[in-house]
Amino acid sequence: MSNYCGIIHRFFGFFMILLYNTKIWGYSDNINSVVIKEDKIFYIGELNKIPDGVYKKKINLKNKLLLPSFIDTHTHFSEYIKLKSQINFSKVNNIEQILKLINDYPKKVKGYGLNISKFNKKDLDSIFKNIKRNPLLTMASSDYHSYLTTSIGLTDWPPKLPNNKEKLNNKDIKLAITELYKMGITSIHEMAFTKEDFYLYDNIAKNLEVCRHFPLEMLDEIIKTNQKSYFGNEYLKLASLKLFYDGSIGSNTALMFNSNSGKLNLKYKDLDKIIEKALNNDISVSIHAIGDRGVDDIVNLFIKHKNNIKKFVRIEHAQTITDETIEKLETIKDKVYLSMQPLHIRDDYLTLKDMSIKDISFRFKSLKNMTIGFSSDVPVVEFNPFKAIYYAITHKLNKNEAITVKEAIDNYTINAAKLSNSDKIKGSIEIGKFANLALINDYSKYNESFWLNAKSYLTILRGRVLYIDL
């Protein structure tokens, strides 16, 4: 097994790579070879008809399935990198286990993955009385919408956390990017929480294609410097203004029609003004909305501003949505795209399975007329597109909303490319498009559980072999 990164040296001004003995996504079985010239796909066809030339590499793909590489349309990747130096509280079941992790840790404690539904407030408050050391404690809940801190106790999003800027370790950055390669992912969207997170990606150019969304604190700066959404190269593209409207199902802060428990991070009128300001300056917006009422509010605002949307706007998550809202959404389907996370079905299953809203949750099939890009929401869940595909095609909450494997893969590739205005240059295997590719076993030979353990055997970005295990 070899695992390497870097640009392969060009030969006589260009190089060619031959990929052969493969099944190719979207093509008939007799089409079994791909030639890459520099960073683009140069030939797709039969092996005995490949173009003449000097081939720097010839790779036998052993009859596996060649796909476009995956695009994760919603991550907090910078936060994921930070987790490399934090405590994982996801496995704890009682206060004693929490205290042991905290008291055994030699540094100030930052942690993640705490399932707060297992504890009441009294239990959580007792932690502070029993800490032997580590005066600074910050723990994020598993959905990142609640935080437990020594400064203010339990708080909702957005948290007023102690000022503790972290410098990211280059080793952790490289390790996290390599993990993406192993999943066949070469492109991500970063939903930056802070200005520091936004500028992190200036240092990792050409190892990953990043479409970065910026927080509200940067809006005036972006306008002042005359930057526009979805301009720039694919390695580092400015995306949109990322806004939070409501909360989450797990923290009981999603804005629902049948509940008064929702929490607004922005008032409707204030959000209206921010959208108008951004769109007037050719800046797109992407808005977090999970509850059915929250999603409906955002759709109403996008309808109001539809004539001022120059490219497209996005709804992040759209986890619950009514038939009435879908009907409204379809009237602006060319202007509004969705980023959705099938793996949240797994994590929210116990919460949703006995609730009346389960039938309006994760409505992949009902939203078939919309452009959907699939994503992970890492570090809330892992960035594993294969497991996400499994939950999209099985849909444990509502079988009527399950989609086909083809639809699920399209939502991770060509449809996902549309969410960065990049579908003309990547997201599918076509001559002239960037050679962004991944290789998996032929899923048609297996049952649905195949996807739970699937992996990429080869990951290529712009003609560079970044990961290989053949």
pLDDT of residue 320: 96
Cα–Cα distance for residue pair 58/292, rounded to 1 Å: 51
Average pLDDT of the residues of the chain: 87
User: CB under 8 Å to 125, separation ≥6 — which residues?
Assistant: 153, 154
Q: Are 346 and 323 in contact (CB under 8 A)?
A: no
**The CA-based dihedral angle spanning residues 166, 169, 175, 178, taken in that order and rounded to the nearest 10 degrees:** 80
Q: What is the mean pLDDT of residues 338-358?
A: 88
pLDDT digits 0-9 by tens, 176-200: 999 999 999 999 999 998 888 888 8
Average pLDDT over residues 334-346: 97
Q: What is the pLDDT of residue 45?
A: 98
**What fold, for 70-77+167-426?**
TIM Barrel (3.20.20)
In which band, very low, low, confident or very high, does the pLDDT at 205 lie, cut at 50, 70 and 90? low
Higher pLDDT, 147 or 15: 15
- pLDDT surpassing 90 at residue 261: no
pLDDT score of 134: 53
* Structure confidence at residue 2 (pLDDT): 40
Confidence band (pLDDT; 50, 70, 90) for 131? low
The more confidently predicted of residues 170 and 174 is 174
344 vs 143: CA distance, rounded Å: 10
Quick one: CATH architecture of 1-69+428-470? Roll (2.30)
- Greater model confidence, 441 or 89: 441
Residues in the chain: 470
Which residue is listed with tokens 């934090």? 86
Segment 328-349 mean pLDDT: 95
**Domain positions in the chain:** 1-69+428-470, 70-77+167-426, 82-156
Long-range CB pairs of 270-275, under 8 A, 24+ apart, other chains included = 271/243, 271/245, 271/301, 272/301, 272/304, 274/216, 274/219, 274/241, 274/243, 275/301, 275/302, 275/305
* Residue 161 pLDDT grade (very low, low, confident, very high; cuts 50, 70, 90): very low
Strands 236-244 and 209-214 come out as parallel
Q: Where are the alpha helices (DSSP H) in 281-423?
A: 292-304, 323-330, 343-352, 385-394, 405-412, 414-418
Percent of the chain with pLDDT over 90: 65
User: What distance in Å separates the CA atoms of residue 115 and residue 313, rounded to the nearest whole number?
Assistant: 32
What pLDDT is recorded for position 199? 85
Q: Is residue 312's pLDDT more than 90?
A: yes
